[in-house]
Chains A and B, each alone.
Chain A
């Protein structure tokens, strides 16, 4: 049950489970996925990406069961919680890379689908790369620091793919980020 004491991740578990009971797969992404890996960073909304053919009515009905109602700008809010739920447009992708696998975590009778730690690092770094959001870069590095055995090679392969497709991404920004990323792993 969601109350004023519920954390963002508590809300994410409840929402993902309610959607799952309605047959809807929703994957936590964006800043809220970074919050899952790195408790020090607290986003104020849970961002879930749905399959493109998901019915809005079914989502509304599932979230009403846990006390969330749709308000303006398609933001779902709860009378007792400061955390909102949003559904950014799909497909589930980090830049050009379509995300086809994610983690499913169980907590008692609840579950949460969340993008992998590697995808979360890529996602936050892309926020910085595309829009120069320095806090997103710091969060990417923090996720990388706290998650053991991160696959840095997968992150580098993703970055190479983005640079190959879009020459406007600054390679120097990636090189500097990769150096910071690898530093704690040395």
Chain B
């Protein structure tokens, strides 16, 4: 595809845009969960997380073998970024629906789904 016909994205790629919006709507996600939610491979999401981490807008923490990702609350424009992402999320019914499904609540072990 010629460069001038490519769709531009706010944060450099569709995956990065959607991942950031999803993080704003859910607070925290693990890489595999985000990959499943966005229909992408875990390696593609991990790559997006790494690049966003390098510019300081997201942070991740490892629990066991799981990498949890969230927006970086300490980033100097975190409040404005979250507001922008929430606004973009409000206009995207698909991502809003994914966010509702992705919300993690405590669940008693053994409780039927």
Give the interface of A toward B (CB within 8 A): 74, 88-91, 93, 95-98, 126-127, 130-131, 165-166, 168
Contacts and interface: CB of A to CB of B under 8 A. Distances in A.
B76 A166 contact: no
B56 interface: yes
Closest 10 CB pairs of A and B: A89-B56, A93-B76, A130-B73, A89-B55, A130-B74, A166-B79, A165-B79, A96-B76, A126-B74, A95-B74
B111 interface: no
B56 A88 contact: yes
A126 B75 CA distance: 11
A166 B78 contact: yes
Contacts of A97: 76
B6 interface: no
B54 interface: yes
Nearest to A168: B73
Interface of B: 54-56, 73-74, 76-79
Scoring B56, B74, B77, B78 by chain A CB atoms within 10 A of each residue's CB, the highest score goes to B74
Contacts of B73: 130-131, 166, 168
B25 to A, nearest CB: 15
Interface of chain B, main secondary structure: loop
A93 to B, nearest CB: 4
Contacts, number: 25
A127 B78 CA distance: 14
A91 B79 contact: no
A176 to B, nearest CB: 19
B62 to A, nearest CB: 13
Contacts of B56: 88-90
B76 A89 contact: no
A74 B51 CA distance: 12
Contacts of A166: 73, 78-79
Given A96-B79, A165-B79, A166-B79, A89 B54 contact: yes
Nearest to B55: A89
A126 B74 CA distance: 7
25 contacts: A74-B54, A88-B56, A89-B54, A89-B55, A89-B56, A90-B56, A91-B76, A93-B76, A95-B74, A95-B76, A96-B76, A96-B77, A96-B79, A97-B76, A98-B76, A126-B74, A127-B74, A130-B73, A130-B74, A131-B73, A165-B79, A166-B73, A166-B78, A166-B79, A168-B73
Contacts of A96: 76-77, 79
Contacts of A74: 54
Contacts of A89: 54-56
